[in-house]
Amino acid sequence: MRKIVLPAAGLLLALHTTSCINTEREVGTSRNSQQVFTPTPEGARARLTERTVLRTVNATHAFSNPRTKDRFVLQLRGPKIATSQAHFFIISSTGDTLRKEAMPAIALINERDLDDPRAATVRDKEIAILQGMNNFFREERFVQPAVPRSAVQPENVDAQSWTSVKEDNRAVGFDYPAADGRERRLAFSRKLGRAVVIAE
């Protein structure tokens, strides 16, 4: 019996010693080894802030270069869906940020998604915002050419931006709701090397 027990006891002792060595190494390399770990109180865990990302939708589409696809990103940030901000980005295939803007989440609401906009509850608005996110990068929102030949320049659009996009038949336009709720068309001007607003 002793021959069987002794090796087992020795193995347990070896495991215990290894465990202690590992613990000492971890403590030795820890920056705050003298502090006692205290778990975050339950009420303070996962606190939502203005920076909290509640939801993200992505799409890829030709935009700045007809041979590659850029990444379109829409992030909902904030403590609550109804009062959050929607952050819209366009990132090129090479990693450059072509467009960055923020709008109130309620700008994503299409009133047709609400039975009665005046009587809509907070929950109704939240659902409509999430539906708006789902539809934000629909394929029909992308148009080519970005400016039809017969189109007339809007008064509130920069002439240089408008002309540079109109001259490019391969330019892709993207329609989306702006902060004020109105539709806006964005296109990439290869002549100017940046994304420009060509309709509001």
Give pLDDT tens digits for 115-144: 777 778 889 999 999 999 999 999 999 999
Enter the pTM of the model: 0.74
Collapsing DSSP states into helix, strand and coil, what is residue 105?
Answer: helix
**pLDDT over 60 at 6, yes or no:** no
- Distance, in Å, from the CA atom of 146 to the CA atom of 165, rounded to the nearest integer, reads 7
Amino acid letter, 98: L
The predicted pLDDT at position 39 comes to 55
25-76 pLDDT tens trace: 333 444 544 555 555 554 555 678 888 999 999 999 999 998 999 999 999 9
CB–CB of 176/183 below 8 Å?
yes
Q: Residue 84, class by beta-carbon neighbours within 10 Å (0-12 exposed, 13-18 middle, 19+ buried)? A: buried
